A = this chain, B = another copy of it.
């Protein structure tokens, strides 16, 4: 099963290069992942839990550099059409799933919004409704907006809720995508 992420970090700062590059390095040089950066995003390919781990580490490092920093990320699993991977084949739905519990909090408070796309099935709206309900139980759910769902909480709580949503939806279809925008330190954040 081919899974991975394209993500970008946006520090609203003149010094953005010196926030982004150390944040990418905070992922380490993981042997079990493929990591490639271009001018638009960084690709991470590997097992879903590891992908969420290193993307969270990169965003945490960028947030701790200070100021207003946004993460924009696309997580995909089971895509049947990846151009450069011969082992990439369509998958059936995942057989098992367990809700992960968040690890230790990071002290970084974020607001986020995500959209979930279970592909190739006519019943995708009920998959989305079920998964958003599960997100409510995680405590990270904020509210629905047009085209997306808001989350908030500690960075690790928000990212764990996303990882659980991603894997939960894979019980209904092999190909699942989540897009998320997370924001720390926005001056227009409502109290």
Asked whether, in the complex, the Cβ of B12 is within 8 Å of the Cβ of A74, the reply is no
Smallest Cβ-Cβ distance to A123: which chain B residue: B120
Q: Write the chain B residue with the least CB distance to A83.
A: B144
Which residues of chain B are within 8 angstroms of A190 by Cβ–Cβ distance?
38-39
Q: Chain A interface: which size bin?
A: 35 or more
Chain B residues with CB under 8 A of A148:
6, 74
Q: Which residue of B lies closest to A79 (CB)?
A: B147
Inter-chain CA distance A11–B67, complex, in Å, is 13
Asked whether A96 is an interface residue with its Cβ less than 8 Å from the other chain, the reply is no
Is A103's CB within 8 Å of the partner chain B? no
- Contact status B187-A17, CB under 8 Å: yes
Q: Are B120 and A124 in contact (CB under 8 A)?
A: yes
Report B-chain residues with C-beta under 8 Å of the C-beta of A14: 12-14
Closest Cβ of chain B to A117, distance in Å, is: 5
How often does this chain occur in the complex, in copies?
2
**A155-B179 Cα distance, complex, nearest whole Å:** 23
Query: Is A93 an interface residue, CB under 8 A from the partner?
Result: no
Stretch at the interface among A25-33, A40-48, A157-165: A40-48
Known: A8-B70, A12-B16. A43 touches B117 (CB 8 A): no
Alpha-carbon distance between A72 and B115 when the two chains are bound, in angstroms: 13
> Quick check: is A80 within 8 A (CB to CB) of the other chain?
yes
Please determine whether A177 and B12 come into contact, CB atoms closer than 8 angstroms: no
Chain B residues, CB < 8 A from A122: 120-122
The 9 nearest A-B residue pairs measured at CB = A12-B16, A10-B10, A39-B188, A39-B189, A39-B186, A83-B144, A117-B117, A76-B147, A14-B14
**A residues with CB within 8 A of B:** 4, 6, 8, 10-14, 16-17, 37-41, 43, 45, 68, 70, 72, 74, 76, 79-85, 111-113, 115, 117, 119-122, 124-125, 128-129, 144-148, 150, 177, 179, 181, 183, 186-190
